[in-house]
Amino acid sequence: MYDLPVQNLIDEFGRLPGVGPKSAQRIAFYLLKLPEAESLRLAKAIIEAKERVGFCEQCWNISEEQICRLCSDIHRDNDSLCVVEEPRDVVALEKAGYRGRYHVLQGALNPMEGIGPEQLRIKELIVRLSNEEIQELIVCTNPNIEGEATAMYLARQLKPLGIKVTRIASGLPVGGDLEYADELTLERALEGRRELNA
């Protein structure tokens, strides 16, 4: 329908999560109307982020360095480790006041989409737990089917290690995502966490 470069742009935006065909089209046409300097600034920001940002080799959060600033912070609580699905969840928990360590799984179990334990950073978590003196592992996966399945899987896998495994309390809507919760809701969920029994 459109010239090939325009259609390619629309198709690429349409591949982004949460962007449907109409939104992809609106974004593409918005960018085409921008002055060249502004569109080049956007393109440069994307390229720079892809070139400079990777994952922390310890917690798998996003980082420009091999070890992220949170893992490098000597003032953080070393007794607790909070397991989250995505890097954006770390930001939400930081805003809620959590000051322990993190481990980012890079997703949640979802057999329908071919995401099993092998696609997540669970092996790295188990190695990490055997090397660090963690007293409590707080499972902060999203309160949806995938997040609950991931939490139960982790509880079963980690039970032999003898580490206390807790789950954040309710207060977050079922089917919701951590990144959309306000700080007070997350703070209460952290305070009311409970032990997971496999």
Per-residue pLDDT for the chain (198 aa), expressed as one digit of tens each? 788 999 999 999 999 999 999 999 999 999 999 999 999 999 999 999 999 999 999 999 999 999 999 999 999 999 999 999 999 999 999 999 999 999 999 999 998 999 999 999 999 999 999 999 999 999 999 988 899 899 999 999 998 888 999 988 767 677 778 888 878 678 778 877 778 877
Residue 54 has a pLDDT of 96
Q: Domains in the chain, please, with CATH?
A: 4-52 (1.10.8.420), 76-195 (3.40.1360.10)
Residue 64 has a pLDDT of 96
What CA–CA distance (Å, rounded) separates 183 from 1?
46
Place of tokens 């912070």: 73
Q: Which residues contact 192 (CB under 8 A, 6 or more apart)?
A: 168, 169, 170, 171
What CA–CA distance (Å, rounded) separates 34 from 41?
11
What CA–CA distance (Å, rounded) separates 60 from 175?
24
**Which tokens in the block code for residue 119?**
């696609």
- Report the predicted TM-score, pTM, of the whole model to 2 decimal places: 0.79
**Which tokens in the block code for residue 178?**
């951590």
Q: Which residues contact 143 (CB under 8 A, 6 or more apart)?
A: 170, 172, 173, 174, 175, 176
